[in-house]
Structure formats: structure tokens, C-alpha cells
Amino acid sequence: MAYLVLARKYRPGSFKEVVGQEHVTRTLMNAIKAGRLGHAFLFSGIRGVGKTSVARILAKTLNCEDSSTIEEPCGRCPSCLDVTEGKSLDVMEIDGASHRRIDDIRELRESVLYAPGQGRHKVYIIDEVHMLTTEAFNALLKTLEEPPQRVIFILATTEPHKVPVTIQSRCQKYDFRRIPSLTMAEHLEEICGKEGITISSDSLRRLAIAAEGSLRDSQSMLDQVVSYSGEEVSDDDVNVILGTLDRGMLLKILEATTGGLSGDSLRLAGEMIDKGAESLRIALDMISLLRALMILVEVGEY
């Protein structure tokens, strides 16, 4: 069986499994439970924070065949499995970058006229919707405002400012936040426990910080580290993958500098350069270290 990367293996299958977007998942679950769900949504946020995952979960929930669950998909019925495997005839995922012309939107407008084939709703997920042309957006306006009954549109974008105001005004807008580094590190630790990966908490936090709010990026970096080092991951292995330097050496340089031993700090920096480190990398990592220490002193936790 082909290897499944961590980002796909641990993609959330229900609203409760989504990390760091409680303000979005709670609103959607309540709307479904109360029967107040809209017909058009605009999901915006940086890469890898759960926009497409939540769109798929919403599509599964709307067409789930298990009547015992209302605001969550069961994940086991044929409809849920078809959406998960990308085989559902009632859930269409469209890449806005490659289907951006007015002709593509005309085809979409024709397809929405047909009733759902198997499920209760037809769901159109348009990813990177900001890539559509102006003409395509204009062609989508009327359908987006008054779609046929049981048709749901979910538009996802990393650049919401490029989506025309006329489109935004017809959608319920959900802003997906960057995932906090501590939340991300806890999630990575949970994955490591399930996968039998040994890695320090400090390394997990560094991976989370390097991901800059993107959960998918952090999972991809963890995958890369494990591919490099195996299931026993050392801090040095993380340094290699992230391109960062030995924090112990940086602390020694800082200690020598603050102690007035400028000669020692220059010697230590020279040793790092002789081992292949770039002077710019040393400077940037030193700035990052000083920032962390400043926050530790002022805030008390970092």
C-alpha cells in the first residue's frame, strides 16, 4: 500500500477534529442543528488551516445517511465515504485556478439545474476562487444569489481581497485563523504518539513556529524530519531540516557577548561558519533567540 503523508492521514473527518477553528465549526454546527444554514459560504485564510477540510466535512454532514447524527457526519455511511474518497456525484470540488474562465462557470450554471443524484444536497466547493476572471465572477453572481433548492456553494480563498465585493455580499464569510504554535505543537505530539515517533517537545514547538500558523505545513515538516532521521528524532535532525543552528552554540555566543568577551563570541561564530553555517543565518537565529528571551522575560511564557 502506498504511503499516506501525515497531512492526509490526519485530515479531520468531523467538525470536532478540526484544530484551532472553533469559531467556525461551532457556528456551522449550530446552524445545521437549528436549520438555519445558508446557501453560500466564503472561507478565507492562509494555506493549511482547514478551509477545504471544513468544506468537505460540511458536505458530508449535509448528505450523511445516518439519521442519528445531525450536526456531524458519521464518517461510515456510503455517502460520507464517497465524499472522503472524492467519488461523490453530489459534491463537486473545482479548482478555481484551472477552471477560471466564463465557459467553466457556464457549465457549472447548467449543472446546478439538475437535482442531487443520491444525497439531499448538491455541494460545489470552489477552491482558490479569487483566480476566477472578472467575467466568470459576473456569470456566477445570479446563481450564487439565488441557487436552486438544495444547492450549496462553498468558496475558499487565501486572498479574499481579490474576491469582488458583489460576490462577498452574497456569502456568509468565515475567516480561518492562523493556528497558535502551542496548539499546533500539541497536535503534532498527538500524531507522534500514534505513529510511535520519539521527538522532544522543544523540537515540536520549533516545527510549529516554523510553520507560521499553517497546520498542514507543520505536518509536512514533521514528515520530512522523520524521513531524514527515522522514528528517533534528535534536535540536531530538526536543525538540519529547518536550516537552523545549534541553539546551545547561540547561547554561548550570547553569554560571551553579554559578558564582555567579544573575542570569544567572534571565535564561536567563526567555528560555526567553519562548520558550514552562513553568517546571515547566525544573525537571523540570534535575533529569533533574543526575541524568545525577551518574550520570556516580559510575558513569562513562550
pLDDT tens for each residue of the chain, 302 residues long: 577 899 999 999 999 999 999 999 999 999 999 889 999 999 999 999 999 999 999 999 999 988 887 888 988 899 999 998 888 889 999 998 898 899 889 988 888 888 888 888 999 999 999 999 999 999 999 889 888 888 999 999 999 999 999 999 999 999 999 999 899 999 999 999 999 999 999 889 889 988 889 999 999 999 999 998 888 888 888 877 877 667 778 888 888 888 878 888 888 888 778 766 778 877 888 888 888 788 878 776 54
**What are the helix (H) ranges across the chain?**
6-9, 22-34, 51-63, 78-84, 102-111, 134-145, 165-168, 181-195, 201-210, 215-229, 235-242, 247-258, 262-274, 279-299
d(CA 100, CA 103): 8
Give 209-227 as a DSSP string. Answer: HHTTT-HHHHHHHHHHHHH
Q: What residue ranges do the domains of the chain occupy? A: 6-175, 179-244, 246-302
- Amino acid 301: pLDDT: 57
> Would you state the cell numbers that stand for residue 55, as one nine-digit string?
468544506
Query: What pLDDT shows up at residue 247?
Result: 74
What pLDDT is recorded for position 29? 93
Q: Which residues of 136-147 are buried (b: 16+ CB within 10 A; e: fewer)?
A: bbebbeebbeeb
Q: What is the pLDDT of residue 262?
A: 80
Contacts of 117 (CB under 8 A, 6+ apart): 89, 90
Q: What pLDDT does residue 26 have? A: 94
Task: Provide the pLDDT for residue 295.
Answer: 81
* CATH of span 179-244: 1.10.8.60
Topology of domain 6-175, CATH: Rossmann fold (3.40.50)
What is the pLDDT at residue 94? 92
